[in-house]
């Protein structure tokens, strides 16, 4: 598609900033609202920043890795970019919707692509009550925190907390504790993609807890609700053989 209109976004990394004018001169660079595809340059952070701006328009995003891990990115190559995008495989994601209330009664809303995580703010453990679809499943979890992760986010913070890796098409969410102290043997749960998770913070004045939708943090919360926003879809583009499903499968067999 020779007339494909591209918009480039580069992270602050020097490598991404150096690549931006070279690619723009070669392929053109229109504003994101006029583009057919948005190309993110950098690491996974650049990809997530670009995807967050796609909540309203759903335009596909093709990332090229000029960062560190780049799990959500393709290999960086300046040549044949339009042809690569034309041949790319698509991965469709639904973000998580977080609704939180803090100790002052202020309501906070945010969307997350990877996970919604709750973490203790002090040296004292968090004490949480967990309900799934309005039914209390755990009266008290004593821990450093807990998260609800999407399949795309299951290989990020969720994996480092020993949570399960989820294939993109699994229609599941991972509910994963962070350093659970009591019950010590609880390792989390797999939930339907349309489940709603309600978490109440017990003794929030003495054991304060923060909530984050990816990198959007709210402190001193008293309760949080998390569920998939199935009205929004994000589209990631991957080179053939390098799709997100394949990388998730590779991660499950890594040793």
Is 231 within 8 Å of 111 (Cβ atoms)?
no
Q: How far apart are the first and last CA of the chain?
A: 41
Length of the chain in residues, anyone?
Answer: 255
Report CA-CA distances (Å) from 190 to 125, 133, 173, 196, 242.
Answer: 24, 13, 6, 12, 26
Three-state secondary structure call for residue 39: strand
CB contact burial 106-127 (16+ within 10 A = b; e otherwise): eebebbbbbbbbbbbeeeebbb
3-class secondary-structure state, position 182: strand
Provide the annotated active-site residues.
44
Helix (H, G, I), strand (E, B) or coil at 34: helix
The residues pairing with 201 across neighbouring beta strands, listed in sequence order, are 128
Rounded (5°) CA angle 143-126-162:
30
Q: What is the 3-state secondary structure (H, E, C) of 83-96?
A: HHHHCCEEEEECCE
Looking at residue 79, what DSSP letter applies?
Answer: T
For every residue of 130-181, DSSP letters joined together read EEETTEEEEEEEEESEEEEE-TGGGGTHHHHTTPPP--GGG-EEEEEEES--
């Amino acid at each position: 598609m020779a007339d494909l209109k591209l918009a480039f976004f580069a992270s602050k990394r020097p490598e991404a900033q150096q690549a931006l004018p070279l690619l723009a001169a070669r392929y053109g660079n229109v504003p994101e609202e006029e583009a057919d595809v948005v190309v993110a340059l950098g690491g996974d952070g650049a990809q997530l920043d670009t995807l967050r701006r796609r909540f309203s328009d759903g335009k596909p995003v093709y990332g090229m890795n000029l960062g560190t891990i780049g799990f959500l990115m393709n290999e960086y190559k300046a040549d044949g970019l339009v042809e690569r995008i034309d041949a790319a495989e698509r991965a469709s994601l639904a973000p998580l919707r977080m609704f939180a209330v803090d100790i002052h009664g202020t309501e906070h809303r945010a969307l997350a692509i990877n996970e919604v995580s709750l973490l203790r703010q002090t040296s004292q453990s968090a004490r949480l009550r967990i309900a799934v679809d309005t039914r209390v499943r755990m009266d008290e979890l004593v821990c450093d925190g807990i998260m609800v992760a999407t399949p795309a986010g299951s290989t990020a913070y969720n994996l480092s907390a020993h949570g399960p890796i989820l294939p993109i098409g699994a229609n599941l969410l991972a509910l994963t504790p962070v350093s659970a102290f009591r019950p010590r043997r609880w390792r989390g749960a797999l939930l339907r993609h349309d489940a709603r998770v309600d978490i109440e913070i017990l003794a929030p004045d003495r054991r304060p807890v923060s909530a984050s939708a990816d990198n959007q943090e709210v402190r001193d919360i008293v309760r949080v609700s998390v569920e998939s926003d199935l009205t929004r879809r994000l589209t990631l583009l991957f080179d053939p053989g390098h799709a997100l499903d394949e990388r998730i499968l590779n991660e499950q067999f890594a040793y």
